[in-house]
């Protein structure tokens, strides 16, 4: 899929939330990172409902297996984004210099404003609003990123190319990251969507990789 | 309550001038009750080829009895009804399915394949809606999962391509990107042709145009 779309490097994550019944999802992820480490950056998708066990699991993954970031989704793990278990887990991520990718938009417990509450309570955490607010909450997401310096946007799934342009105009390209949500969504389609946004060449170059590269480097 | 008379007249006039490129459909607010029906009759007499409903814009639920008179008129006139769908509370796919089952002779088209959730967690409901209602169609604009065993592929596998219609939701979405949702799907060329053209021609009775 990466080759098909001309993508050099990609963040990857496990599909099943962990800890959970699909423990092999972790071994699959780590094996992929070991064999394709130069092309892949691993984020661990964690179920915060496991509280201390989730925090320990994530910390070991970062320190021992090269996991670089944390993925959270209220759509598959029903828990408020600013509840204590999530804040504690995100606090640990911040301590480890690991950014957080948070599925955002549309579903209950994934609203950008809810994640915004988390971002305010966890100012040292760097949180990416995945799908930049989805179908209905894109403007909410853009306004929040403008207000809070520790929030960023990721472009996948959100279907309006014009809103990518608006995001870059409002926030600058440094806070907007291309993503594909592959294999759920076709990466060529997501790439073409960003290309159709009417960005200037330097803005496009930033959104398609440079911004995220610099962002990751700053976390080290 | 919203009166779309002037807007509908404008759209129908643009359709008339377009020499067949634009097929006008008319929007109505069913909360207007008898005035809505009168407005619809006027638009149909001027050349509207279908009816559009926007439940979220006008804060009514698509499966509410409030809409029945509009569906009844659509039935009598043989006109398809396009429903802005996928909006929580107002037009989720199973709500649209209920409307479709109540009026089984009206062709109903749910926009965005009935899915407006970034998680695509209601794609199962959308498929169920299509399975349960043979007069229900899904317009493809904005549907997230496509190209890699996504929703379009799933529907084609389950029931063939005849219930899918390409749409762009332009100007909110980009028509080129929206067309790619169909052309990138792993389906046959014939299935693509049906989705991009011949299905809509059948529904809007354009086959001889």
Mean pLDDT of each 10-residue bin along chain A, 220 residues long: 93 95 94 93 97 98 97 95 97 98 94 95 97 96 97 97 98 98 93 97 98 92
Whether cis (ω within 30° of 0) applies to the bond prior to A19 is yes
CB-nearest to A75 from B119, B145, B147 is: B119
The answer to whether B174 contacts A136, with C-beta atoms less than 8 Å apart, is no
Report how far residue A210's alpha carbon sits from residue A31's, in angstroms, rounded to the nearest whole number.
Answer: 26
Is residue A122 left, alpha or beta, with left meaning phi > 0 and alpha meaning psi from -120 to 50?
beta
The partner residues of A103 in beta bridges, in order of sequence, read A130
Q: Which spans in B50-167 are helix H? A: 55-58, 68-77, 93-102, 123-132, 151-159
Averaged pLDDT, B112-120: 93
Q: Is the pLDDT of residue B15 over 90?
A: yes
Provide the pLDDT confidence category of residue B145 given band limits of 50, 70 and 90.
confident
Q: Is B56 on the interface with A (CB under 8 A)?
A: no
- Give the angle subtended at the CA of B134 by the CAs of B131 and B137, to the nearest 5°: 85
Q: What is the pLDDT of residue A173?
A: 98
Averaged pLDDT, B31-37: 94
Backbone CA torsion sign across A216, A133, B96, B208: negative
Provide the pLDDT confidence category of residue B208 given band limits of 50, 70 and 90.
low
Provide the pLDDT confidence category of residue B3 given band limits of 50, 70 and 90.
confident
Strands (E), chain B: 26-27, 51-53, 81-83, 108-110, 136-139, 164-165
Exposed/middle/buried for B127, CB within 10 Å: 0-12, 13-18, 19+? buried
Q: Furthest-apart CA pair in chain A: how many Å?
A: 46
Provide the pLDDT confidence category of residue B149 given band limits of 50, 70 and 90.
confident
Report how far residue A171's alpha carbon sits from residue A152's, in angstroms, rounded to the nearest whole number.
Answer: 9
Average of per-residue pLDDT values in chain B: 95
Backbone CA torsion sign across B20, B143, B169, A180: negative
Q: Is the pLDDT of residue B147 over 80?
A: no
Which residue on chain A is closest to B180 by alpha carbon? A189
Report how far residue B47's alpha carbon sits from residue B26's, in angstroms, rounded to the nearest whole number.
Answer: 9
Q: Is A15 on the interface with B (CB under 8 A)?
A: no
Q: What are phi and psi of A95, to 5 degrees?
A: -60, -35
pLDDT per residue as tens digits for the range B66-96: 999 999 999 999 999 999 999 999 999 999 9
Looking at residue B186, the DSSP 8-state letter turns out to be: S
C-beta atoms surrounding B209 within 10 Å: 8
Q: Which spans in chain A are helix H? A: 2-5, 24-35, 52-65, 84-95, 112-121, 138-147, 161-171, 187-195, 201-205, 211-219
Is residue A179 left, alpha or beta, with left meaning phi > 0 and alpha meaning psi from -120 to 50?
beta
CA-CA-CA-CA torsion for A195, A201, A204, A210, nearest 10 degrees?
150
Exposed/middle/buried for B59, CB within 10 Å: 0-12, 13-18, 19+? exposed
The answer to ipTM > 0.90 is: no
Q: What is the pLDDT of residue B6?
A: 94
CA A119 to chain centre: 14
Provide the pLDDT confidence category of residue B148 given band limits of 50, 70 and 90.
confident
CA distance B144 to chain A (A): 6
Q: Is A195 on the interface with B (CB under 8 A)?
A: no
- Give the angle subtended at the CA of B191 by the CAs of B190 and B192, to the nearest 5°: 90
* List of chain B residues whose C-beta atoms are within 8 Å of the C-beta of residue A189: 146-147, 177, 180-181, 184
Q: What is the pLDDT of residue B209?
A: 60
Report how far residue B39's alpha carbon sits from residue B42's, in angstroms, rounded to the nearest whole number.
Answer: 5
Q: What is the pLDDT of residue B36?
A: 93
Averaged pLDDT, B168-172: 96
Q: Is A163 on the interface with B (CB under 8 A)?
A: no
Report how far residue B196's alpha carbon sits from residue B193's, in angstroms, rounded to the nearest whole number.
Answer: 5
Provide the pLDDT confidence category of residue B2 given band limits of 50, 70 and 90.
confident
Q: Is A159 on the interface with B (CB under 8 A)?
A: yes
Which residue on chain A is closest to B173 by alpha carbon? A160
The partner residues of B81 in beta bridges, in order of sequence, read B51, B108
The answer to whether B147 contacts A189, with C-beta atoms less than 8 Å apart, is yes
């Amino acid at each position: 899929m990466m080759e098909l779309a001309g993508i050099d490097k990609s963040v990857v994550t496990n599909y099943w939330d962990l800890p959970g019944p699909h423990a092999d999802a972790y071994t699959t992820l780590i094996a992929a990172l070991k064999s394709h480490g130069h092309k892949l950056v691993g984020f661990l998708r964690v179920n915060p409902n496991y509280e201390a066990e989730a925090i320990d699991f994530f910390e070991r993954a970062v320190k021992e297996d090269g996991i670089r970031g944390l993925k959270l989704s209220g759509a598959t793990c029903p828990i408020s984004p600013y509840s204590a278990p999530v804040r504690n887990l995100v606090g640990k991520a911040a301590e480890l210099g690991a950014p957080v990718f948070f599925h955002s938009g549309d579903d209950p417990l994934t609203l950008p404003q809810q994640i915004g509450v988390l971002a305010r309570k966890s100012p040292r955490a760097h949180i990416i609003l995945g799908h930049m607010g989805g179908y209905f909450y894109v403007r909410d997401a853009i306004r929040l990123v403008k207000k809070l310096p520790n929030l960023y946007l990721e472009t996948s799934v959100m279907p309006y190319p014009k809103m990518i342009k608006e995001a870059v105009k409002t926030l600058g390209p440094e806070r907007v990251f291309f993503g594909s949500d592959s294999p759920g969504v076709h990466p060529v389609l997501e790439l073409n969507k960003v290309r159709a946004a009417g960005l200037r060449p330097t803005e496009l170059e930033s959104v398609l990789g440079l911004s995220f590269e610099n962002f990751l480097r700053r976390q080290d | 309550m919203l009166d779309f008379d002037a807007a509908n007249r404008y759209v129908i006039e643009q359709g008339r001038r377009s020499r067949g490129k634009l097929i006008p459909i008319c929007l109505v607010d069913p909360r207007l009750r008898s005035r809505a029906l009168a407005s619809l009759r006027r638009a149909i007499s001027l050349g509207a080829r279908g009816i559009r409903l926007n439940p979220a814009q006008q804060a009514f639920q698509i499966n509410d009895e409030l809409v029945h008179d509009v569906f009844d008129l659509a039935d009598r006139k043989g006109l398809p009804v396009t429903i802005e769908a996928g909006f929580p509370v107002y037009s989720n796919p199973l709500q649209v399915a209920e409307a479709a089952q109540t009026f089984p002779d009206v062709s109903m088209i749910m926009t965005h394949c009935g899915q407006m959730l970034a998680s695509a967690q209601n794609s199962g409901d959308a498929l169920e809606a299509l399975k349960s209602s043979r007069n229900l169609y899904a317009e493809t604009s904005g549907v997230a999962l496509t190209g890699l065993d996504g929703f379009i592929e799933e529907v084609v596998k389950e029931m063939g391509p005849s219930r899918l219609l390409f749409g762009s939701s332009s100007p909110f979405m980009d028509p080129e990107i929206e067309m790619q949702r169909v052309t990138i799907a792993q389906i046959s060329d014939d299935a693509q042709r049906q989705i991009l053209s011949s299905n809509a021609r059948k529904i809007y009775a354009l086959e001889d145009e």
